[in-house]
A and B are shown apart, each in its own frame.
Chain A
Amino acid sequence: MAVADPLPTPSAPLTRPGTTLLAPPEDASFLIKSTDKSYKHQYSNIYFVRLRALRQHVEQRAKRRWGEVAGSPIFVPRVLDVEKGQLCFIIGTVYMDMPLKPNVLEDIARDRSIPAPPPREKYHSENDNVMLEDESGRICLVGERLDNAGLVTGVIMGALGIETNNGDFEVVDICFPGLAPQPSAGLAWPAPKKSDESMDVDGQSSAGADEWVALVSGLEVGAANAAEGQVQLLAEYLAGEAGGLSDQSQSARISRLIIAGNSLGPIQTSASTSTAEPERKSRKYGHDTSFTPHPTQNLAARLTDISRSIPVHLLPGPSDPAATILPQQPLPRAMFGGAAHYATFKCESNPTYICVAPAHEPATSSSRASQPGASTSKAKINGTSAHPDKPEPTRSILVHSGQPVDDMFKYVSTPPTTRMKLAESTLRWRHVAPTAPDTLWCHPFFLKDPFVMAQTPDIYVVGNQPGFATKLVEDDGDEGLEDETERSPKRCRIVLLPRFRESGLLVLVNLRTLEIRRVQFAVEGMSAGGGDS
């Protein structure tokens, strides 16, 4: 019997690149402090602050775009001051008047003897009206330009047009704030140094030696048809235990894992099984026997396995045990047992900004970061940084669990507008969730609207979507704008993550080049992603 060749092993053990986690900028936090928890003020404060924050950007862009148009349009500051027959442009908040939107008055007035109708999938219909609103009042917008514009309530927009005889505003062109400034755009992430330890594994190019961030969403541990095998495979892959040498060396380049929501599946209630026996059982024991603590323990065990070797960021999602209103606050660390002992395991709010910077020069910091209990080094300017004067390259990642995009999807008609178009539009509107607080439940903010994007993120991740999609949005920048910070070119990689329970997909993003790689986990014979073969 021939002896098999020994398995190839690397000459030096594989180590993970150490990234440093920066604190996100002050105004980019979605955490709600205890002083902000007053519910006495009105939701219209959010619209007021949002309009105030974005109006000047729309004005700049509108003046640049329409300043030279024939007919010399003027800017009318108050929406109600437009005069008939004069070409002008106005700026305000879009309000979509849709009869199919959930209406509290209809809910009160409905016939209580019959069960409530199920919530609609789409609010879009033929009888929709688009209005533009500011502090003084509202004006109805008409025109073909608006038909496929994919507008939702809450977008700050500028509209160029003329008031018609019956009081509506006929729109010729529209304008949005555009992509927010991105200070990190020009700063190149350092390419990996070719050290002596790097070995020539088949097909490994220098791009493979870069630093990657892993994104996954919708693990749904504990749901019906949960993909337990795939989650186990995922944990082993990230810890570098699974696969051959090439898989392990690729997994070693992953520096961070971000779980974008829905880690716990929706609870199975006895009503959903809809058979007579479970009901009889639960009456016999006097309590609902379908509750088990196993999903949380299961998830905690997986997260502990993963956290031992890689920093993890966990976001709550629509089916997680967190508040329903956005922004969802971080899940309590105590829920996750062993994983809570690692400082590199972070519970984040939904949505959240995660800012990373390349590791500093000393090799000791990278090995320390992977040990339990070591705190992630914040970006203090220490003496070991090679170039103290050069601004450090950073990458900001904006992640959310998909509720804003799912809600916006109900407003638009689907064949022309896709979810990827909506995600791209949110970048151009400079707002993560414009439909909050209209149809998307939101915390009543008073001082500022944290969903306004002050800066364009480098990577924009939307979790829990039906399918995978990705796009690199680039904006060349406009030299003619008044504000200097707005002129530079920007680019952003949008990633729509599919639910892991259905697809078994892990997405890797290269921090230097913003390329995408997908890793598919499948177990033959199991449904999620493996096919039923």
Chain B
Amino acid sequence: MKQAKLVFSSKRTASGTAAKKATRKQPARASSSPTSSEAIVISESSDDEIDVPIVKKRRLALKAQPVLKKDEDSDSERPEEVREKETLNVSDKRWRKLYGEARSKMGDIEPVHAKGQTMVNHILRVFDLSYEYGPCVGVSRLDRWERAQALGLSPPPEVKEILLTKEGSTDTQYTQSVFHGEV
């Protein structure tokens, strides 16, 4: 049911279009309704100035849907430097102190059925199961961390650093709680 793409005579390519196109394509894939993805197809085929306000409207309509990748430049038209997320180093020295605290919360015994789980996994699981930050089921770890911060409970900042890395914001085993998919 795809309409034919419209071709305009003047094809203006603005600077930094590569980044713009990358982020524009992202909402198109995330949308589920056929009509809105058609509309994106039409506007993407040209980089005319006239289409810019229309694209803005479509983007705003789709921003209401939860976007998996949390990048800050998808809501601005200006080409911005794409902030590269750092990769998660599971044995980074920064997590050592928090891992020590997590181990003491676990009772300083070797966890059972924990083969292949890294320091980061233990830290995040202990963060989930700490009752002082509220229930963990049904919310992403970052949302729960932000709420704990807003309520003044001073959650550990290393957890937020982990959650803002590249793997930490895309991989489900890091973004969602331990009960995700099971409860």
Question: How far does the alpha carbon of A41 sit from the alpha carbon of B153 in the complex, in Å?
Answer: 20
- Which chain B residue shows the least CB distance to A40? B138
Set B131, B135, B147: member contacting A42, Cβ < 8 A: B135
Residues of A within 8 Å of B150, CB to CB, are: 447
Task: Assess whether B138 is in contact with A41, with CB atoms less than 8 Å apart.
Answer: yes
* CB contact between A136 and one of B131, B151, B153 (< 8 Å): that residue: B131
Contact of B137 among A42, A48, A447 (CB under 8 A): A42
| Closest CB in chain A relative to B146 CB, distance in Å | 9
Say whether, besides A34-B64, A49-B151, A52-B151, A446 and B139 are in contact (CB < 8 Å). Answer: yes
Nearest B residue to A51 by beta-carbon distance?
B134
Task: Flag B116-149 by CB within 8 Å of A: 1 or 0 each.
Answer: 0000000000000001101101110001000100
User: Whole-angstrom distance between the alpha carbons of A49 and B137 in the complex?
Assistant: 15
Q: Closest CB-CB distance, A80 to chain B, in whole Å?
A: 11
* Selected contact of A135 from candidates B64, B132, B138, B139, CB within 8 Å: B132
Residues of B within 8 A of A41 (CB): 135, 137-139
A34 to B60, CA, bound (A): 13
Answer yes or no: A29 CB below 8 A from chain B CBs: no
What 0/1 readout, one digit per residue, does chain A (426-468) give for beta carbons within 8 Å of chain B? 0000000000000000000011000000000000000000000
Q: Is A45 within 8 A of B64, CB to CB?
A: no
Kindly provide the distance from the CB of A346 to the nearest chain B CB, expressed in whole angstroms: 26
Which residues of A have CB within 8 Å of B151? 49, 52
Q: Nearest chain B CB to A447's CB is how many angstroms away?
A: 6
A8-42: contact bitstring with B at CB < 8 Å (1 yes, 0 no)? 00000000000000000000000000110000111
Which A-chain residue is minimally distant from B133 (CB atoms)? A48
Give complex CA distance A45, B134 in Å. Answer: 7
Determine the chain A residues whose CB is within 8 A of the CB of B135 once the complex forms: 41-42, 44-45, 48
Range for the number of chain B residues in contact with chain A = 10 to 19
Chain A interfacial residues counted at CB < 8 A:
14
A34 to B64, CA, bound (A): 8
Q: How far is the CA of A135 from the CA of B129 in the complex (A)?
A: 12
A 45-79 to B, binary, CB cutoff 8 A, 1 in contact else 0: 10011001000000000000000000000000000
Query: Does A42 contact B132, Cβ atoms closer than 8 Å?
Result: no
Cα-based distance from A41 to B147 in the complex (angstroms): 13
Chain A neighbourhood of B138, CB < 8 A = 40-42
User: Taking the nearest CB of chain B, how far is it from the CB of A53, in angstroms?
Assistant: 8
For A35, the chain B residues whose CB sits under 8 A away are: 64
Task: Kindly state the separation between the CA atoms of A233 and B63 in the bound complex, as whole angstroms.
Answer: 50
The interface residues of chain B lying within 8 Å CB-to-CB of A45 are: 134-135, 139
> What residues of A have a CB within 8 angstroms of the CB of B137 in the complex?
41-42
The digit string for A123-135, where 1 denotes a CB below 8 A from any CB of B, is 0000000000001
| Distance, CA A45 to CA B147, complexed state (A) | 11
Contact, CB under 8 Å: B134 / A48? yes
Could you tell me the distance between the alpha carbons of A48 and B153 in the complex, rounded to whole angstroms? 12
Name the residue on B nearest A34 (C-beta): B64
Which residue of chain B lies nearest to A52 when distances are taken between CB atoms in the complex? B151
Q: Which residues of B contact A135 (CB under 8 A)?
A: 131-132
Distance of A48 Cα from B138 Cα, bound (Å): 15
Give A124 to B177 CA distance when docked, in angstroms: 39
Q: Which residues of chain B have C-beta atoms less than 8 A from A44's C-beta?
A: 134-135
Contact A447 B147 (CB under 8 A): yes
Provide the residues of chain B in CB contact with A52, threshold 8 Å: 151, 153
How many angstroms from the CA of A386 to the CA of B34 in the assembled complex?
A: 60
Q: Quick one: which of B62-79 are within 8 Å of A by CB?
A: 64
Using an 8 Å CB-CB cutoff, how does the interface string of B138-174 with A read, 1 for contact, 0 for none?
1100010001001101000000000000000000000
In the complex, what residues of B have CB within 8 A of residue A447's CB?
A: 147, 150
Bound-state CA distance A49–B148 (Å) is 10
* Min distance, Cβ A37 to any Cβ of chain B, angstroms: 10
**Which residue, B132, B135, B153, has most C-beta atoms of chain A within 10 A?**
B135
Chain A, 119-168, CB within 8 A of any chain B CB: 135-136
Chain A residues lying within 8 Å of B131, measured Cβ to Cβ, are 135-136
Q: Which residues of A lie under 8 Å from residue B153 when comparing CB positions? A: 52
Known contacts A41-B137, A48-B134, A446 near B147 by CB under 8 Å: yes
**A52 to B132 Cα, complex, angstroms:** 10
Partner of A40, one of B132, B134, B139, B147: B139
Q: Looking at A34, A40, A41, A447, which has the most chain B CB atoms within 10 Å of its CB? A: A41
Query: Which A residue sits closest to B130, measured CB to CB?
Result: A135
A52 to chain B, nearest CB (A): 6
The residue among B137, B138, B143, B150 with the most chain A CB atoms within 10 A of its own CB is B138
CA distance A44 to B64 in the complex (A): 25
Q: Tell me, in angstroms, the Cα distance from A35 to B143 when the chains sit together.
A: 13
Q: Nearest Cβ in chain B — how far from A518, in angstroms?
A: 44
Task: List the A residue with the shortest CB-CB distance to B183.
Answer: A42
Chain B residue at minimal CB-CB distance from A447: B147
Which of A162-206 touch B at CB < 8 Å?
Answer: none
CA distance A52 to B152 in the complex (A): 10
CB distance from B145 to the nearest CB of A (A): 13
Q: How far is the CB of B9 from chain A (nearest CB, A)?
A: 40
The complex places the Cα of A447 from the Cα of B137 at a distance, in Å, of 14
A61 to B64, CA, bound (A): 43
Find residues 83-109 in chain B having any chain A CB closer than 8 Å to their own CB.
Answer: none
A–B complex contacts, Cβ < 8 Å, 14 sampled: A34-B64, A40-B138, A41-B138, A42-B137, A44-B134, A48-B134, A48-B135, A49-B151, A135-B132, A136-B131, A446-B139, A446-B143, A446-B147, A447-B150
Extra pairs beyond A45-B135, A48-B134, A446-B147 (6, CB < 8 Å)? A40-B139, A42-B137, A44-B135, A52-B153, A135-B131, A136-B131
Which residues on A are within 8 Å of B, measured CB to CB? 34-35, 40-42, 44-45, 48-49, 52, 135-136, 446-447
B-side interface residues toward A, CB under 8 Å? 64, 131-132, 134-135, 137-139, 143, 147, 150-151, 153
Closest 8 CB pairs of A and B: A41-B138, A48-B134, A40-B138, A135-B131, A44-B135, A41-B139, A42-B135, A42-B137
